[in-house]
Amino acid sequence: MANKKILITSIPIVIFTALVVVFWFSLGSDPTELPSQRIGKQVPEFNLSNLHNPEEAFTHQDLPKKPFLLNVWATWCVSCHVEHPYLVKFANQYPIPIIGLNYKDVRVDALEYLNKGGDPYLFSIADEDGTLGIDLGVYGAPETFIVDGDGVIHHRYVGVIDERVWNTVILPKVKELDPSLVDVEATQ
Amino acid sequence: MIPELGNFFLILAFINAILLGTLPFYGAHTNHKGLIQFAHRASTSIFLLMLVSFVCLTIAFIQNDFSVAYVANHSNTQLPIYYRISAVWGSHEGSLLLWVLILTGWIFAVSSFSKSLPAEMTARVLGVMGLIAVGFISFTLFTSNPFERTLPFIPIDGADLNPLLQDFGLIVHPPMLYMGYVGFSVVFAFAIAGLLQGKLDHQWAKWSRPWTTVAWIFMTLGIALGSWWAYYELGWGGWWFWDPVENASFLPWLAGTALIHSLAATEKRGAFKSWTVLLAILTFSLSLLGTFLVRSGVLTSVHAFANDPVRGKFILVFLAIVVGASLILYAIQSSKVRSKSNYTLVSREIAILFNNALLAVSTFVVLVGTLHPLMVEAFTDGKSSVGPPYFNLMFSVFFIPILLLMPLGQQINWKKDDLPMLLKKYIWWFVSCVVLALLLTFGLNGFTFEALEPMALLGTILGLWVIAGTIKYIQLQSAKGKTRWAGMRKISRSYWGMVLAHIGVAVTTLGVVLTSYYSIEKDIRIEMGETVEVEEVSVYFKDFQNIQGPNYISSKAIFEVSSSGDFIAELKPEKRRYNASQMVMTEAAIDPGLFRDVYIAMGEPLNNGAWAIRVYYKPFVRWIWLGAIFMALGGILAMTDKRYREKKFKKKVSEEAVSNGQ
Amino acid sequence: MKKFLLAISLLLSAQLAEAVIETYDFDNEEQEQLYYEIISELRCPKCQNQTIADSDASLSRDLRFIVQQKVKAGETKGQILNYMQERYGDFVLYDPPVQPANYILWFSPLIIFLIILVVVVIRVGRRTIDPETGDVKMNDTHSNEKGE
């Protein structure tokens, strides 16, 4: 009888132990980070102007036919200022094309910023109303999407890309898509 | 110098806690009189040490000692003196110090008011509380020391207290809430001491009851104050958001409410002993869980403290040790406990059992809703949110039967009762409530049944039903006396407490339901000199001023609110910009009333000197907090019942122990 | 770094202190109600824990604008929530959808309650009062489990 009862009175400790394990693994992760809903899907269709030339429009068709990075940035975004020099450096070092998506920004400010700090982008799309940003599920710049040659999104990184992130996150993912793009020697 | 002194006393308190958490157990085990006596002295000294330490931090704030990092980050020379004092608990480190101070205050209280208890029982209870103090003081000392200096770079001025917290609410809400949170450690300590001794009889329940009730009173008031503060301070008219931090306080409240009821059954009838002791452990565990959720950063919340994973790990380990050890002890010891079960399906015991089942499942709803996002993240690669739509629905599902059964539960007999007879006494009262509720909602709905929300009607019926049922209860009970008056006087104070608390629940329910369904909320554009109609009230923009506060500048508008030509109130909402932090705050203006609030908050300035403002008309919103006051008053009546003031426990106890043979 | 985090948390709470007040026009009252209903069920993707109705973040402004446009265009609540979910995931839905990952959330409370109900009725239901002694007769299958 007592044995049977101890099975029942042990239920709380079993449930509690499971809870503690879940809590322990939750501790490290950042609860504010959101997974992207666009992984494995095409970059949404768009028709937006060239940042450098308001008369010219870019669409889905203009995206590179090989793997590339789509970097969402703005001059009002403080962390983007931290990220920018790294992007300029990596754009010079590696043959990976980077497309800029200037998100909800003032065109003149953005152009002036690129003139001063250098322009790492193959071309820049001006998303003044943030429509493409919302279609991509952007919630905080800077965000960088890794896209393959068919326009399918493979990964999203939220936050500043620095040396560490570039080497541990971006390069391995791009390498999976096209090893030749991460080969520094080939271009030098 | 003073901060070092504070730190020094905190360290002394730590050593004191270690002694308090060990020696009394040995004393109780070996029946060593001196060590048992030591528990009482150590309880007094730990409280005094913490008090001095706390006063030291307060002095650092009053003197604007910005060499102390915590002061520099949360105060400012321009801050008025009363906010400098309340800024002591304005953020993580200081609030933790307050937490520990309150814990030692409870230790001191238990030591002072338990002279009539068996000495070794008291020693164990104080020992358990000492161990809890060891955990919290080491948490303060090793991860969150408020006395840390900013040397050698002392800032000239402090970063200021978050303007949201520069309010009367900060002065009263956290201390009140912490009194509740920490207060549940007393009944927890009683439960552990009882399990250790293998003695969970009705005496144990009798000792635990007033302590549970007093903690519950503080918790009730603390939550109500927080809700009221959010309502007037945040400027969007809400009073409960189901935010994880709010849920963290609601969980121990719900469990504590269940505990109050099951303790009654255990004390009076010796029933549900094992469940009651588990509830006592769970209630305090939920308090600790709340601390973990608020201070570890595993969940996102608008109220959470700035987070640090080291702190999270520390509390989690602490939580695991305290709750884990208690539950293991529970698993082993409570399987030996025998509860009395001489009751049938229609009895007060079963009424209390259902009350507990419903409250426990409600607690579970809040818990699972709060933790579900964590689970989803742990087991899938997605993220999820659980918010008001879930909580409102699921909570109602289990709260409706609670309200429905409450009046019957008050009246039903122990052991066995006649259900048809019982229902017969109440049927006409219930029917009257339905009619009255129909009339009331008909009126509030604009004298039409069109688009009447069924939930609004149901909630009103239930609120009225609980009030009516409680009045009926008094009528039935007082009929037992020779005269009605003599009968009333025969009802004990603890039953009057129950009556008042239950009416409080009804009042809060009515407030929640009527505000939720009949509030009017409107964003309008208004120019100076213009009058805008918002449903039945009209708002006239009379004047606009820029004014200078002690540590902010403010744009203040003056509105005249009237209803069909009758002047109601002059409301002066503000938009303040605080000098030190440059933060903008909306100060809503409210015309409070027993039956409705009119509430105006300022938005953005628009072109041509016009402003966007938000106007609320909130019927019965005050009832939400009024009900909480009734509940607290009920609690005070119950805990001051004369049987808790008996001095001679000892003799009875030994008799009890013999007869139970445990 | 700590200071930085603190500054961020202060900024976030600054946003929360500012009530969001906008004046949108709608074609009729139903649309306006639908708008308020939807924005108070959508979670702001970048805030701590706020609806897009309460949040002052610029993303919330944009999302409110989209909701307003869609409501005026006659879209249903389901369509609009779906649109948001496609972009930001289940995270933005304060009303979690009834799907396998959320079954525990939606059904476990009721199941637990029903189990308690059944156990109590089975165990206590058969008890009767002995008319002579006034004691409770267990009538249980486990008759060894008598009260003390």
Residue B303, pLDDT score: 65
User: Can you give the residue ranges of every domain in chain C?
Assistant: 2-97, 101-137
Closest chain C residue by Cα to residue B390: C95
Q: Which residues in chain B touch residue A10, judged by CB atoms under 8 angstroms apart? A: 331
Tokens of A141: 């710049």
CA neighbours within 13 Å on the CB side: how many for A21? Answer: 8
> Do B336 and A8 touch, CB atoms closer than 8 A?
no
In this structure, are B506 and B546 located in the same domain? no
Residue B175 lies in a domain: no
**pLDDT band with cut points at 50, 70 and 90 for residue B646:** low
pLDDT at A115: 92
Please check whether residue B143 touches A, CB under 8 A.
Answer: no
pLDDT, tens digit, for every residue of B103-151? 999 999 999 998 888 988 999 999 999 999 999 999 999 999 999 988 7
Interatomic CA distance for residues A69 and C10, integer angstroms: 33
Q: Are residues B82 and B205 in the same domain?
A: no
pLDDT level of residue C15 (50, 70, 90 thresholds):
very low
Mean pLDDT of B386-407: 95
Q: Tell me, rounded to whole angstroms, the distance of Cα B40 from its chain centroid.
A: 29
Contact in structure between B547 and B553 (CB atoms under 8 Å): yes
Q: How far apart are CA B496 and CA B499, in angstroms?
A: 5
| Order of strands across the sheet that contains B520-526 | B520-526, B611-619, B596-605, B589-591
Smallest Cβ–Cβ distance between C96 and the set B343, B384, B525 belongs to B384
Asked if the C-beta of C91 comes within 8 angstroms of chain A's C-beta atoms, the answer is yes
Chains with 3 or more CB pairs under 8 A to chain C:
A, B
Spell out the SS3 assignment of chain A: CHHHHHHHHCHHHHHHHHHHHHHHHHHHCCCCCCCCCCCCCECCCCEEEECCCCCCEEEHHHCCCCCEEEEEECCCCHHHHHHHHHHHHHHHHCCCCEEEEEECCCHHHHHHHHHHHCCCCCEEEEECCCHHHHHCCCCCCCEEEEECCCCEEEEEEECCCCHHHHHHHHHHHHHHHCHHHHCHHHHC
Q: What mean pLDDT is predicted for residues B214-234?
A: 94
Judged by average pLDDT, the poorest of B201-215, B446-460, C59-73 is B446-460
Which of B36-45, B637-646, C135-144 has the largest mean confidence?
B36-45
pLDDT over threshold 50, residue B650: no
C138 touches chain A (CB under 8 A): no
Q: Which of A35, A104, A137 comes nearest C87 by C-beta?
A: A137
Cβ within 8 Å, pair C124-B343: yes
Chain A positions in Cβ-Cβ contact with residue B335 (cut-off 8 Å): 2, 5-6, 8-9
Compute the count of residue pairs across chains A and B with CB atoms less than 8 Å apart. 69
Q: Do A37 and C58 touch (CB under 8 A)?
A: no
> Is B184 a domain residue?
no
Residues B599 and B635 in one domain: no
Backbone φ and ψ for B576, nearest 5 degrees, come out as: -105, 145
Whether residues B128 and B226 share a domain: the answer is no
Domain C2-97 in CATH 1.10.8.640: yes
> Whose CA is closest to B248, among B295, B202, B193?
B295
- CA B393/CA C56 separation, integer angstroms: 27
Between B177-181, B232-236, B649-653, the lowest mean confidence (pLDDT) is in B649-653
The residue assigned the tokens 């409570």 is B334
Same domain? For B109 and B255 the reply is no
Q: Are residues B505 and B528 in the same domain?
A: no
B415: nearest CA in chain C?
Answer: C136
pLDDT of C145 strictly over 70: no
Alpha-carbon distance of B160 to B127, in angstroms, equals 40
Alpha carbon separation from B144 to A30, B68, B148 (Å, rounded): 21, 13, 9
Q: Could you report the predicted ipTM of this complex, rounded to two decimals?
A: 0.86
Yes or no, beta carbons of C46 and A135 under 8 Å apart: no
What pLDDT, on a 0 to 100 scale, did the predictor assign at position B659?
43
Q: How many CB atoms lie within 10 A of CB C122?
A: 11
What subunits make at least 3 CB pairs under 8 angstroms with A?
A: B, C
Question: Domain range spanning residue B548?
Answer: 520-620
On whether any CB of chain A is under 8 Å from the CB of B385, the answer is no
Report how far residue B41's alpha carbon sits from residue B44's, in angstroms, rounded to the nearest whole number.
5
Residue B24 has pLDDT above 90, yes or no: yes
pLDDT confidence bin for A9, thresholds 50/70/90: confident
| CB within 8 Å: A26 and B374 | yes
Domain spans of chain A?
47-187
> What pLDDT is recorded for position B515?
93
Question: Cα–Cα distance between B17 and B38 in angstroms, integer?
Answer: 12
Which of C88, C104, C145 to mutate to test binding with chain A, by most A CBs within 10 Å of its CB?
A: C88
Mean pLDDT of B505-532: 91
Mapped onto helix, strand or coil, the DSSP state of residue B137 is helix
Q: Are B404 and B505 contacting, i.e. CB atoms less than 8 angstroms apart?
A: no
Does the pLDDT value for residue B660 go beyond 50? Answer: no
User: One-letter amino acid identity for B341?
Assistant: S
Residues of chain A with C-beta less than 8 angstroms from the C-beta of B328? 13
Q: Is the pLDDT of residue B228 over 90?
A: yes
Do residues B623 and B595 lie in contact, with contact meaning Cβ atoms separated by under 8 Å? no
Angstrom distance (rounded) from CA B173 to CA B359: 25
Number of B/C CB contacts below 8 angstroms equals 181
Q: What's the gap between Cα C41 and its chain centre?
A: 9
Integer CA distances (angstroms), B16 to B31, B85, B163, B185, in order = 21, 27, 37, 18
pLDDT number for residue B304: 63
Q: How far apart are CA C29 and CA A96, in angstroms?
A: 53
Q: What is residue B492's three-state secondary structure?
A: coil
Q: How far is CA B163 from CA A75, B71, B477, B585, C6, in A?
A: 29, 15, 52, 7, 14
Virtual torsion, Cα A54, A55, A60, A62, nearest 10 deg: -100
Element (H, E) at B144: none
- Residue bearing tokens 């001489």: B342
What is the rounded radius of gyration, in angstroms, for the C-alpha atoms of chain C? Answer: 27
Does B547 reside within a domain? yes
Cross-chain Cβ contact B332/A22 below 8 Å? no
Residue B350 in 3-state DSSP? helix
Chain B segment 59-78 residues within 8 A of C by beta carbon are: 73
C30 to chain B, minimum CA–CA distance in Å?
A: 12
Against chain B, the chains showing at least 3 CB pairs within 8 Å are A, C
Residue B178 domain-assigned (yes or no): no
Q: Helix count (H) and strand count (E) of chain B?
A: 20, 10
pLDDT digits 0-9 by tens, B159-188: 888 888 888 888 999 999 999 999 999 999
CA angle B309, B315, B320 (to 5 degrees): 125
pLDDT given at position C146: 37
Number of structural domains (chain B) is 3
Chain A: residue nearest C83 by CA? A135
A42 Cβ neighbours under 8 A, 6+ residues apart: A60, A150, A151, A152, A153
Residue B39 banded pLDDT, cuts 50, 70, 90: very high
pLDDT in tens, B293-349: 888 877 777 666 656 778 888 999 999 999 999 999 999 998 888 887 788 888 999
Q: Give residue B657's pLDDT band: very low, low, confident or very high (50, 70, 90).
A: very low
C residues 84..143 contacting B (CB < 8 A) = 89-96, 101-102, 104-106, 108-110, 112-113, 116-117, 120-121, 124-125, 127-129, 135-136, 138
Residues of C numbered 33-62 whose beta carbons fall under 8 angstroms of chain A's beta carbons: which are they? 45-46, 48, 58-59, 62
Check residue A16 and give its pLDDT.
94
Residue of A nearest to C47 (CA): A32
pLDDT band at B26; cut points 50, 70, 90: very high
Core vs surface per residue B524-555: b (16+ CB within 10 A) or e: bbbeeeeebebeebbbbbeeeeeeebebbebb
3-class DSSP state of B108? helix
Sequence-separated (6 or more) residues with CB below 8 Å from residue B230? B238, B239, B240, B241
CATH topology of domain A47-187: Glutaredoxin (3.40.30)
Of A9, A20, A29, the CB nearest to B316: A20
Please tell me if residue C86 touches chain A, with a CB cutoff of 8 Å.
yes
